[in-house]
Amino acid sequence: MAVFVIGSYVVFASYFVCDFHMMRLSSSYTKIPDEKKFYVLSNLIKAAVLLSYTPLAALTLYRALVRDEWNTQRIRNLGVLYAIPDFVSLFLVSRMAFSTKLHHVCVVVFMVANLFNDYSDDGVGRALVVYAVFSTFAYLVNLLLASRFLQVNARMALAMSVVALVVYGSCLCINWLWQLRYVLGRWYMTDTTGRLALAVYLSFIAMVVYDDLVLVSWLRLNVKRKLKVQ
């Protein structure tokens, strides 16, 4: 929990540090309504955080799926680090879509469950790890969401939109196919207790999937709008 407490403090403080400097360095940021400034910062901070996690997350996924090496301590630490930006944003971002709030709450709930799971045992917790790692790769989406309020070249904005849609959509497809294969395999191989655990997992992950669907739909429409402007 020390990682969570210290990490939360660092991310919390970074909002105010970034706000201080952005107010002085970015003319477009100063024009953003006050109630939306922390929304922009939450996405900038999350993009930076997820980008920094990506190498270790990718290595962890490779070792888990290819070598069947599920390092419990590393996965727990990554789970805590992943949840911190979402946890902090629940308190600092006033205007947040309901689906996003549900997503963030589920992430925090999963983080707590993650702390008590032993990943050396083949259980439903492994599906959560895979979902979280693929979500880590979507940092460009958060950068794109923030860039809407900042001065970004039209061609750059279009390029970011297309790449974000392709990367995010690809990650979702691969992730969901793996999840479906894993859950169905576990369902027919486990007992009643195991099936109950799968049902609980699916009920929570469904809320995350809903938010992912909302976001990918927005990304698709965003690309269409920008192509019409070009």
Q: Write out pLDDT tens, residues 4-51.
A: 999 999 999 999 999 999 999 999 999 999 889 999 999 999 999 999
Token pair 């201080």 in the structure block, residue: 20
| Cα dist from 102 to 17, 30, 112, 133, 209, whole Å | 27, 30, 16, 19, 11
- Separation of alpha carbons 1 and 7, rounded Å: 10
Q: Is the pTM of this model over 0.75?
A: yes
How confident is the model at residue 9, as a pLDDT? 96
Q: Are 217 and 168 in contact (CB under 8 A)?
A: no
How confident is the model at residue 87, as a pLDDT? 96
Q: Nearest 10 degrees: CA dihedral of 164, 161, 89, 112? A: -20
- Separation of alpha carbons 18 and 45, rounded Å: 9
- Separation of alpha carbons 219 and 213, rounded Å: 10
229 vs 170, residue with greater confidence: 170
Q: Is 95 exposed, middle or buried (0-12, 13-18, 19+ CB in 10 A)?
A: exposed
pLDDT in tens, 116-154: 999 998 889 999 999 999 999 989 999 999 999 988 888
- Separation of alpha carbons 35 and 38, rounded Å: 7
- Separation of alpha carbons 113 and 70, rounded Å: 16
Token pair 């706000």 in the structure block, residue: 19
How confident is the model at residue 230, as a pLDDT? 64
| Buried/exposed code over 212-222 (b: 16+ C-beta within 10 A; e: otherwise) | beebbeebeeb
Q: Are 81 and 87 in contact (CB under 8 A)?
A: no
Name the phi and psi angles at 110, rounded to 5: -65, -35
How confident is the model at residue 226, as a pLDDT? 81
Q: Are 89 and 104 in contact (CB under 8 A)?
A: yes
pLDDT in tens, 174-227: 999 999 999 999 888 888 888 999 999 999 999 999 989 999 999 999 999 888
How confident is the model at residue 181, as a pLDDT? 95
Q: Are 35 and 81 in contact (CB under 8 A)?
A: no
- Separation of alpha carbons 54 and 2, rounded Å: 22
